[in-house]
Structure 1
Amino acid sequence: MSTMTATERISVPSPRPRRSTRGRASSIVLGVVAWVVGLIFITPVVWMILTALHSEVDAATNPPSFFAPLTGASFAEFFGASGGVNPWPFLINSAVASVVSTLIVLVLSTAAAYSLAVRRIERWSDVLFFLLSTKMLPMVAGLLPIYIVARMFGILDTWLLLIIIYSAMNMPIAVWMMRSFLAEIPIAVLEAAEIDGARLPRVFLQILLPLTAPGLAATALICVIFSWNELLFASVLTSTAAGTAPVFLTGFVTSQGLFLSQVCAASLVISVPVLAAGIAAQDKLVQGLSMGAVK
């Protein structure tokens, strides 16, 4: 009868240790905390939706009447069905200023980020600090000079003025974001393209842009949100021809009081384009915001 040596013995894998009671309890606590935080953030949105679906009388009650009859009168008032102000020109103005300024920012910020991350210029860190320092000045501090210059050139209450302001407003954050995305691209990929004879325009179009598509989506969405929601410059530098959606919202605050239900309905409608853009770019946005998080 042959005996098995120690090296020939079949080792039986030990059973996996069971998860401790403390670990399960901590997971349950973290799950409950996550749900509570989520409910805290979603409660104002649900409240706004219910308020928009109530009449002005029910929306103004204190405490609010959550079980009051639902109606779409506030949405009809927003779209001008009851003889109110037409919101479409304001929405179009916001869309044009936001989209055009975002496209300009993406083109300029990508070129600037390339020179700061890939082909680093001299004193590139000083350039980054200068861009960041422009965001330290309160926006209201530059309101009067911008108003005087815009009046001198005759561009008050125009799309052009909003596009220039929004482009300048979003440029610093866009350059910082695009630089962080471009810094993640291996230099060897670009050098290989140059060895194969690819010139800079081809490198940008066929290599850099596909690799930084998540970063471009994240940067574009943030620029659109900032431009779409901007109120200070739009309320002072525009009136009727180029008034934006946030300016339209302020029209519900009248001498008779605040039309709460109509404000909530208008806020929901105005939030839909940005929400739709976020959902459409959700995958690219998550990838872009997480680029560089894992080495």
Structure 2
Amino acid sequence: MSTATATSTAASTRSRSTGPRSAGPRRNVRASALGLLAWLAGLVFFLPVAYMLLTSFHAESDAASNPPDLTAPLTLGSYREFFGSNPWPPLINSTTASVCSTLLVLLLALPAAYALSIRPVRKWTDVLFFFLSTKMLPVVAGLLPIYLFAKNTGFLDNVWLLVLLYTSMNLPIAVWMLQSFLAEVPVSVIEAAHLDGARLPVILGRVIAPIVLPGIAATALICFIFSWNEMLFARVLTGVIAETSPVFLTSFITSQGLFLAQVSAASIAISLPVLAAGFAAQDKLVQGLSLGAVK
């Protein structure tokens, strides 16, 4: 009896000891496969950008060849054409509209997110849904009323009109993002600030903002990218004075044809500010996007 019991005990011990060992290789294979799949997906998304970058250093005749000649000699002629066409006013307009609208969005969204998360208003979920519903209307559906308003008020071809439009476009997204970030702030910290006599602006600027700084950085970067890349409103509502970078980019598509190398060079140059901002804030972006993900 004791021998049979000892044998069964030893068998069960061996099965428990070999279980994790057999599961370990399978787990490693699965992790390696997922990592390889992620790298392949990243390469698929990066290849068009790499091809555009390579095309920007080719001459127009080499860029228009079919099939593409990847070994063609490199040149900076397309970049000389781009910077020789005076792109600075459109770049300044895009910077002004994007930076000013992003600052206004943060200034308005932070108190709204505070009211919807830390000091919740009544039916705050309905309020959040209302913010989200404003993004369901296609942009082109409101283009004609906005154009008529800008024309009758003398705001056509004015960069500050774009600032107001970009602020209204990005405000719902910012409120949604900041609401999830502020929900992670400990209430005890805010109560301690109230006991010390701090008012709401002080609490928002000196207590809450440092805690959710990664989330604010992520929200600001996304709003900046959306504003920088917006083209429909800028195309219809601006002309020469308030022309933005995406609208200026379309000037390389002429009746003579598509200058592929120049378009590629202009696209790379116009994308550099967004890429630089994303690279500078990449750590804050990752922290911010993951801040409200874990409860």
Q: Same fold (TM over 0.5)?
A: yes
Partner of 1:116: 116
1:252 deviates by: 0.9
Partner of 2:65: 61
Q: Equivalents in 2 of 1:201, 1:39: separation in Å?
A: 46
Partner of 2:4: none
1:15 deviates by: 11
Partner of 1:280: 280
Partner of 2:215: 215
Matching of residue 78 in structure 1 with residue 85 in structure 2? no
1:25 to 1:113, Cα distance in 2 relative to 1, 3 A: closer
Q: Equivalents in 1 of 2:134, 2:38: separation in Å?
A: 36
Partner of 1:130: 130
1:215 to 1:27, Cα distance in 2 relative to 1, 3 A: closer
1:122 deviates by: 1.9
Q: Equivalents in 2 of 1:239, 1:247: separation in Å?
A: 9
Partner of 1:167: 167
| Equivalent of 1:29 in 9, 33, 38 | 33
- SS of 1:178's equivalent? helix
Partner of 1:4: none
Q: Equivalents in 2 of 1:206, 1:16: separation in Å?
A: 53
Q: Compare 69-78 and 127-136 and name the one that shifted more.
A: 127-136
Post-superposition Cα deviations, 1:29-56, rounded to whole Å, max 9, x if no partner, equal 2232222112111111110011001001
Q: Equivalents in 2 of 1:115, 1:27: separation in Å?
A: 42
Q: Equivalents in 2 of 1:142, 1:27: separation in Å?
A: 47
- 1:12-23 superposed matches below 5 A: 18=21, 20-23=24-27
Aligned-partner residue type, residue 133 of structure 2: S
Q: Equivalents in 2 of 1:145, 1:105: separation in Å?
A: 23
Aligned-partner residue type, residue 54 of structure 1: H
- SS of 1:67's equivalent? coil
| Equivalent of 1:46 in 43, 50, 58 | 50
- SS of 1:251's equivalent? helix
- 1:232-251 superposed matches below 5 A: 232-251=232-251
Aligned-partner residue type, residue 169 of structure 2: M
Aligned-partner residue type, residue 193 of structure 1: A
Q: Equivalents in 2 of 1:194, 1:223: separation in Å?
A: 31
Q: Equivalents in 2 of 1:23, 1:184: separation in Å?
A: 33
Partner of 2:293: 293
1:27 deviates by: 3.2
Q: Which runs of no fewer than 5 residues in structure 1 stay unpaired?
A: 1-13
Q: Equivalents in 1 of 2:144, 2:182: separation in Å?
A: 37
Post-superposition Cα deviations, 1:62-117, rounded to whole Å, max 9, x if no partner, equal 1100000100100000001xxxx311100000000000000000000001111111
1:284 deviates by: 1.0
1:205 deviates by: 1.7
Partner of 1:262: 262
1:127 to 1:16, Cα distance in 2 relative to 1, 3 A: closer
Aligned-partner residue type, residue 251 of structure 1: S
Partner of 2:11: none
Q: Which runs of no fewer than 5 residues in structure 2 stay unpaired?
A: 1-16
Percent of residue pairs identical: 62
Q: Equivalents in 2 of 1:180, 1:26: separation in Å?
A: 32
User: TM-score when scaled to structure 2?
Assistant: 0.91
More helix by proportion, 1 or 2?
2
Aligned-partner residue type, residue 57 of structure 1: S
1:25 deviates by: 2.9
Give the count of matched residue pairs.
278
Q: Equivalents in 1 of 2:151, 2:32: separation in Å?
A: 61
Aligned-partner residue type, residue 248 of structure 2: F
1:240 deviates by: 0.4
Partner of 2:3: none
Q: Equivalents in 2 of 1:77, 1:259: separation in Å?
A: 11
Q: Equivalents in 2 of 1:25, 1:15: separation in Å?
A: 18
1:151 deviates by: 0.9
- SS of 2:70's equivalent? coil
Q: Equivalents in 1 of 2:178, 2:36: separation in Å?
A: 37
